[in-house]
Structure 1
Amino acid sequence: MQTLYITHPACHLHEMGNWHPECPGRLDAINDRLVASGLMDFIDEQTAEPATDADLLRVHEPGYIAYLRMHAPTEGYFQVDPDTLMNPHTLEAAWVAAGAGINAVDAVMRQTHRNAFCSVRPPGHHAGPAKAMGFCFLNNIAIAAAYALEKYKLDRVAIIDFDVHHGNGTEETFAGDPRVLMCSFFQHPLFPDHYQDPPAENMVNIPVHAYAKGDELRFLVSDVWMPRLQAFQPQLVLISAGFDGHREDDMGQLGMVESDYAWITEQIVALADETAQGRIISFLEGGYCLSALGRSTEVHIRALAKL
């Protein structure tokens, strides 16, 4: 079975101004790298379908969805917070970005594809049940997890987040839910500047210092994440794949390189092969240095596809 690559043209239409680092060119950088490397010939591309309101409401409050619709502009921008803005295409992009995760869950659970990468934007892991923040409107990975738990009656879903910024919205959604185990590392202090401390029992979220390099982060994966994940025995593994921890990315100060992303992905693939019939869905989160983003995503997808 091939790796599924899910995207949608609407994800290019959402933009927040020429000054903004979360730009449509991020998707072009990924696609161009996959084509140039020849990797696109070995994966199966699919256009995302939009999520339904029922899908969103497993995670987000009805009043929040109504708020987004009420303030969606017909021209120009509506500023949700200082760095998160809607343009006339944002809601379509957000709905298909969330829908990509739903489509991917169906694909891996029905065994038409072994795993999937959702090349979508806006990203999602900062969005809480009733709040947009940090470039995020809908929490794509949380929506997919909630759908999988309900639709396929799963008991154990793992969420792994290696973005340089903490996935606070995902933590807020699932803290205390024994069906979900979240494992992450993130630079601290750095936006969003807070995490639950002490954490809920099902949260393994590890703050790391600026300039931490790959060997330190690999230790956290092998010696902290993996024992918890192996004990949890996830039936499905979801990844918030943020590539802004790359040493070339100015949004953070971690020292990761492509080989680190490849190694982490290989560990996740081995875990999923052991406990989840290989079922992994990865979601694009951060990554703002376009060259580093393209290279890092390539090795991530190559590891997913075992190529």
Structure 2
Amino acid sequence: MNNMSTQIAACSPIKIDSEAGSEVDPLGIGAPLPVSQVTSNPPEPSSSKAPPHVKIYLQDDCLKHRFIRSRDTSAIVERPERLRAVKIGLAAAIARIEEAEGALKNSESHADISVEDQLAAALDKMDIATSDGGLIRARSISIARSTATVDLLDNAAVKYVHGDIDGDVYLRNLKAWARDSEDNITKKGSEMPEGMPPLDLFLCPSSIDAIQGAIGAVCQAVDAVIASTRISASVVATGSQRAFVAVRPPGHHCGEDTPSGFCFVNNVAVGAAHAHLKHGIKRVVILDIDLHHGNGTQSIVWQINEETYRQTLESEQSPSEPNAPPFKHGPQIFYGSIHDVLSFPCEDGKASFVQAASTSIHGPHGQHIENIHLQTYSSEAYFWDVLYKERYSVLLKTASQFLDSTGGPGDDVMVFISCGFDACEHEYPSMSRHNRKVPTSFYHRLTRDTCAFADVYARGRVVSVLEGGYSDRALSSGAMAHVCGLVVDTIQVDERWWELENLVKLEKATKARKLGRLSLGDSDSEPWLTRTTELLFHLDVYRTPPQPSRNWVLPTSMTLRERKKPSSNSSTTEVARNPRKGTHTPAPMSSSSSTSTSASENEAVSPLMAKKVPRVILHVRPPAGTS
């Protein structure tokens, strides 16, 4: 590709449509609320269908993944504390939903309570292993504290996505990297193999617990959502048609065998594989709303679609045997992303990453990909009336075209959201360096439109999984708006709930105090704030496990991201300007899932070296004259 064509690819998505035609918008998606209208008027629920229920999944093992390379964690943004910020947003959303449903009652005011008393009280009031134990008063939402986990070396969905025909090399190595992390830090100064981006990837011995717990919670949510929508038509559904899974580390940058951008296993891709292998889901829609392009997910989706397309062609060209069982092909997946093409993984301008993040193809070669670039906006009116209506809502329109062209609505359809909050207007400026942001209400309205889409095509099935989002305010406000979007058709949502004034009140009410004591709200605070602190008191029972005593290596001269300028008298080395150098493109997935027996994690593994992978994700030829 010459320089001019590379520039074109970087500036606008590449459109490859199976056929031309006029736009069809059967769902009416892209017609936003007027800016002056801050409430959503939900439709009257159908008498033949129970109102949708939303379940939030928490997994405490996800707190165990942390940075241990040095004591200096000031620039580590993918941190366990992210989950507390999400819980604040969830607690606020639940309080507001209870208020809207008329279920909010003034809670007794609490004095400051020690951490030990908090734990005892929480254990008394809720079954922390399974559900909220009656803590939630809202009819439309509940919380499950998941204890589900999977074995990376013995799980069909994990092996389908990350397995290797040569013996699951990547998965065994991943476990070894975590298991030996402390020793490798002591010996080499880093727990990651040479050649892997050291500023984006870190592990500790308990990271595997977090990774396996995250996947377990996602699969548990998939099971519950599908089970609730596959009951007899004569029985009213009572389960959870929608779920939000608040887990970490994120996953959408991880390809088949290459970790990247904080991601070690692709949570959403594994969830989709689980839905296919266990429940017969044939068509999957993945909507990625993280600030950064989900290059790992797109690579995996491309390989799965490629294999399904090959199987289909072979079945059409091969004569069928008498009495042969009907042909069963693999899943078909639509991947759609709204992202900043100037940010990671494209920020260095590498052709392969920019091409992948700019490609849209609808049908040819069995591929269904839509990439939309975030734009700057001058006012919320412009954002909603122009950008959202004319550009961003195209994500759902093309997803509907994919499903229409592959059979229309059906029991074999499921919708996933790779839900990152780092495009939020409240994200760190150092993370959102190119001003490609969205208003917080974007997470409410797009979620609302996605649920409407799922109601038409997928029996209402939506599983949303946390990806990025790093500032506390971006996480709490985004999670609040997102969950309100999941329950929007059962209540009236007021978008003023997450205006800056209310967010400041929320942060003050939920701020952790010194000496192990928490602020539980003032007796004269607004009822929703008092209720939020009460809910958080139960949701945030577990704290980040303390780090064991060990011989620390000297702080690295490079930190993860530039969040603040060092003071003039500081001895700390200046933050690297381009921390993403050396990031690898995820490798394509093998054409067939592995069926080999898993090796023990204690067996000898291959040398701790990064696997060489193709430069180009999407099977396009590299520019002429390059290696």
Distance 1:246 1:66, change over 3 A: same
Q: Distance in 2 between matches of 1:255 and 1:66?
A: 38
Matched, 1:284 2:466: yes
Query: Cα distance 1:36–1:301, how it changes in 2: closer, same or farther (>3 A)?
Result: closer
Structure 1 letter corresponding to 2:216: G
Aligned residue for 2:339?
186
Match of 2:459, SS state, is coil
Q: Secondary structure at the match of 1:78?
A: coil
Partner residue in 1 for 2:286:
159
Matches within 5 A, 1:165-204: 165-175=292-302, 177=305, 179-193=332-346, 194=353, 195-196=355-356, 198-200=359-361, 201-204=367-370
Provide closer, same or farther for how the CA distance between residues 36 and 208 of structure 1 changes in structure 2, counting only shifts above 3 A: closer
Q: Distance in 2 between matches of 1:65 and 1:58?
A: 12
Would you say the 8 A contact 1:5–1:44 is kept in 2?
yes
User: How do 1:1-307 and structure 2 match up within 5 A?
Assistant: 1-16=52-67, 18=73, 19-37=75-93, 38=95, 41-42=137-138, 43-46=141-144, 47-52=146-151, 53-54=154-155, 55-61=157-163, 62-72=168-178, 73=180, 75=182, 78-79=191-192, 81-82=197-198, 83-111=200-228, 112-175=239-302, 177=305, 179-193=332-346, 194=353, 195-196=355-356, 198-200=359-361, 201-209=367-375, 214-215=383-384, 216-222=387-393, 224-231=394-401, 232=403, 233=408, 235-249=413-427, 250=429, 251-252=431-432, 253-306=435-488, 307=491
Change beyond 3 A, Cα 1:199–1:93: same
Does the residue aligned with 2:444 lie in a helix, a strand or coil?
A: helix
Aligned-pair CA distance for 1:87: 1.1
Distance in 2, matches of 1:13 and 1:218, equals 41
State the shift of 1:244 in Å: 0.4
Is contact 2:287-2:335 (8 Å) kept? yes
TM-score by length of 2: 0.47
Cα-to-partner distance string for 1:174-219 (whole Å, 9 max, x where unaligned)? 1161610011111012111114254553111123346697432443
Which whole-Å deviations, capped at 9, do the CAs of 1:104-139 have from their partners, x for residues lacking one? 110011003111001000000001110111001100
Structure 1 runs (4+) greater than 6 angstroms displaced: none
What is the DSSP-based 3-state SS (H/G/I as helix, E as strand, rest coil) of the residue aligned with 1:182?
strand
CA contact (8 A) 1:187 1:210 kept: no
> SS at 1:170's partner residue?
helix
Deviations 1:124-159, CA, capped at 9 Å, x for gaps: 000111011100110000000111112221221100
Shift of 1:248: 2.2
**Which is greater in Rg?**
2
SS of the residue corresponding to residue 84 of structure 2 reads: helix
The CA distance in 1 between the partners of 2:147 and 2:269, in whole Å, is: 17
Residue 11 of structure 1 and its aligned partner are, at CA, apart by 0.8
- Partner letter of residue 259 of structure 2? A
Rounded Cα–Cα distance in structure 2 between residues aligned with 1:65 and 1:166: 24
User: For residues 198 and 304 of structure 1, do their structure 2 counterparts lie closer, same or farther at Cα, with a shift above 3 Å needed?
Assistant: closer
Write the deviation string for residues 233-272 of structure 1: whole angstroms up to 9, x where unpaired: 4611000001100122131232212111111111101000
| Secondary structure class of the residue paired with 1:255 | coil
Return the offset for 1:305: 2.0
> Judging changes above 3 Å, is the alpha-carbon distance between structure 1 residues 48 and 81 closer, same or farther for their aligned structure 2 residues?
farther
Which structure's residues are more often strand, by fraction? 1
Q: Is 1:126–1:133's contact at 8 Å kept on the other side of the alignment?
A: yes
The answer to whether the 8 Å contact 2:425/2:439 transfers is yes
Q: Secondary structure at the match of 2:272?
A: helix
CA contact (8 A) 1:58 1:146 kept: yes
Greater Cα offset, 231-240 or 77-86: 77-86
SS in 1 for 2:86: helix
Distance 1:120 1:272 in 2: 23
Distance 1:287 1:181, change over 3 A: same
Amino acid corresponding to residue 274 of structure 1 in structure 2? V
Worse overlay, 81-90 or 134-143: 81-90
Q: Is the 8 A contact 2:54 2:142 kept in 1?
A: yes
Distance apart, 1:51 and its partner CA: 2.4
1:211/1:169 CA distance change after superposition, 3 Å: farther
- 1:106 alignment partner AA: D
Does structure 2 retain, via aligned residues, the 8 Å contact 1:188–1:210? Answer: no
Report the more deviating stretch, 57-66 or 26-35.
26-35
Q: How many residues align?
A: 306
TM-score by length of 1: 0.92
Decide whether the 8 Å contact of 1:188 with 1:209 is kept in 2.
no
**Which sits farther off after the overlay, 107-116 or 193-202?**
193-202
Q: 1:101 is matched by which residue type in structure 2? A: V
- 2:400 is aligned with what amino acid? Q
Structure with the bigger RCO (C-alpha within 8 Å, sep 6+) is: 2
1:285 CA displacement = 0.5
Distance, in Å, in 1 between the alignment partners of 2:169 and 2:377 is 40
Secondary structure, aligned partner of 1:85: coil
* Closer/same/farther in 2, CA of residues 246 and 56 from structure 1, 3 Å limit: same
